[in-house]
Amino acid sequence: MSRRFRIKFSGQSFGLPVATLMLALSLSCSENRLEQELPPTGRVFYLDSSSGDDATSGMAPDKAWKTLEKFNETVFEPGDRILFRAGTVYKGQLKPQGSGALKDGNPLPILVDRYGEGEMPRIDAEGRFEAALHIRNIEYWEFSNLELTNQGESPEARRKGVFVEVEDFGTAHHIYLRKLYIHDVNGTTRKADGASGGIRWRTSGESKRSRLNGFVVEGCRIVRCERDGIMGSGPVRRGLDWYPSLNVIIRGNLIEEVPGDGIVPIASEGALVEQNVMRDCTRLLPEGDAAAGIWPWGSDNTVIQFNEVSDHKAPWDAQGFDSDWDCRNTLIQYNYSHDNEGGFLLICNNGGASPSMGINTGTVVRYNISVNDGLRAHETRQEGYFSPVFHISGPVKDTKIYNNVIYVPAKPDPNIDRTMIRMDNWGGPWPEDTWFANNIFYVEGETRYFWGESKNHVFERNLYYGVHNDGPSDLDPIQGDPLFVSPESAGPGLDSLAGFRLQPGSPASGVGIAISGNGGRDFEGNSLPTFLPPSLGAFEGEH
């Protein structure tokens, strides 16, 4: 068994494998070295809204500037640092100018941070600006330890906490958002009204294709932002318009009291979404509006891992995780989904879209744990109490779902949907070539399945507990109790899930199908066997 350390993040405890922790520490050390290696000639500017003066040089604490206007009119240079005094408040919008650079092969960014002791310096846009922090057509910037809010007298479309915009610019490198506290952004809650929420980014270009390369959102807290948490946008049509953002990393963020979509990379290649938490979602979306926790759209090779999503309440969808349309090779692994009204997982593709956009192929879903997902207790406009644990819809192809634990306690309301898997035909075509193997489907009571006209769905060596009506024709099923250690101990946090380990003598231990390229580890970091069959479920049991 791998050694593990426990860390605290925003009041929540996470048990992380040593390898993951060491990677995080090495990244932190690298960042500190970068800051220390700034040339001694790099300028340092100070802002202090309580006692500053825009008429001074701004280059010492006792000569600090006072206003955001002074910041915004200054064109900064590579290696500059701009420090806001802790505990100060600034009304308006932060809109930086100038760019850092790449020097001798290493980034030389412009850094924005705080100085002194106390609370984060606060930027309050008061609903008067589209975003409290607007980053447009610049590169090599890092923003850390700021509080950002943008609440107006009434909700307004496209209102944001942070807006990163790259238009007719080319490739914008190295935009880092770290340890930002973004809260109380009252955008509109209806998706069709326009993009609003905590952090949004957009890439576009008519005269020059544009994208981000090296966009990092890390350790931020997003609270009471409407409609969404962290979301991007950009051209997604395949062909000449396909110019995806690269090296997008969304890591270690906490999203609370956000009613819509949690984290959505759009038009990206190889995005990494890990160690994030979305919880306590608010029931604010209008009837019929769809949203889910973490999902890519118009993106390839997205990795979604070590995340937790709970309490999603959107009127439609409301799953913890999703592999959406116009995506290739999405990998969803080692995540925890619980108490989401719409279910655990959506995989979908609009069959009515053009061939350049109607793509969803190669999704892999492995070593995840779903607890008490699919409990919508009110009717939807679309289809009653619809809330299957798995919803697979449209021309979705070549999907592999293996070594997951699906734990469905008794439903508290007799009207709640009791479907485990629902195959659907969004836009006309049906899913094809969907493979389920080594999963544990544990149901207190009964569940059911809908296959429609889906093609070539194959179930192989899964364990079924409870009553499974119209269940799959599994090639080698196991019926019975998997003998979890203590599933009732599951609660908030990935480290609460040890109860889904298998007791000695479990019929799920060491009986699975060997799968090539399985990631090499189970949910908690234990190595998977090389020459023996793996166990069923998300934890490697005793052989």
Least confident range from 41-55, 141-155, 309-323, 344-358: namely 344-358
Bigger pLDDT: 210 or 541?
A: 210
Rounded distance, CA 292 to CA 261, Å? Answer: 5
- Residue 355 maps to a domain: yes
| Helix-strand-coil split of the chain, %, nearest 5 | 5, 40, 50
CATH number at residue 297: 2.160.20
Q: 219 vs 109, 180, 196, 203, CA distance in Å?
A: 19, 7, 20, 23
Confidence of residue 414 (pLDDT cuts 50, 70, 90): confident
Bigger pLDDT: 412 or 491?
A: 491
Rounded distance, CA 290 to CA 341, Å? Answer: 12
Rounded distance, CA 329 to CA 334, Å? Answer: 16
Rounded distance, CA 513 to CA 524, Å? Answer: 20
Confidence of residue 381 (pLDDT cuts 50, 70, 90): low
Residue 364 Cα to chain centre, angstroms: 16
pLDDT in tens, 484-521: 999 999 999 999 999 999 999 999 999 999 999 999 99
The DSSP symbol for 272 reads E
pLDDT at 133 over 60: yes
The residue-averaged pLDDT of 416-436 equals 95
- pLDDT for residue 27: 40
- Residue 47 maps to a domain: yes
Q: How many domains does the chain have?
A: 1
pLDDT in tens, 224-274: 999 999 999 888 777 667 899 999 999 999 999 999 999 999 999 999 999
Confidence of residue 543 (pLDDT cuts 50, 70, 90): low
The DSSP symbol for 286 reads P
pLDDT in tens, 59-90: 999 999 999 999 999 999 999 999 999 999 99
Cα torsion angle, 433, 265, 128, 120, sign: positive
Q: Amino acid identity of 78?
A: P
- Residue 494 maps to a domain: yes
How is residue 328 written in tokens? 């290739």
Residue among 123, 144, 121 nearest 133 (CA): 123
Confidence of residue 471 (pLDDT cuts 50, 70, 90): very high
- Residue 529 maps to a domain: no
pLDDT at 18 over 70: no
- Residue 518 maps to a domain: no
- pLDDT for residue 425: 94
pLDDT in tens, 343-358: 999 999 999 887 777 7
- pLDDT for residue 382: 65
- Residue 459 maps to a domain: yes
- Residue 542 maps to a domain: no
The residue-averaged pLDDT of 29-39 equals 39
Give me the percent of the chain exceeding a pLDDT of 90: 84
The DSSP symbol for 118 reads S
Bigger pLDDT: 506 or 382?
A: 506
Rounded distance, CA 274 to CA 254, Å? Answer: 11
Listing DSSP states for 475-495 in one string gives SS-EES---BS-GGG--SSGG
Confidence of residue 20 (pLDDT cuts 50, 70, 90): very low
pLDDT at 374 over 70: yes
Residues ≥6 apart with Cβ < 8 Å to 361: 328, 329, 396, 397, 398
pLDDT at 469 over 70: yes
pLDDT at 19 over 80: no
Q: Amino acid identity of 232?
A: G
- pLDDT for residue 240: 67
List residues bridging with 252 in a β-sheet: none
Cα torsion angle, 428, 327, 373, 464, sign: positive
pLDDT at 170 over 50: yes
Domain that holds residue 77: 4-500
Confidence of residue 284 (pLDDT cuts 50, 70, 90): very high
- Residue 513 maps to a domain: no
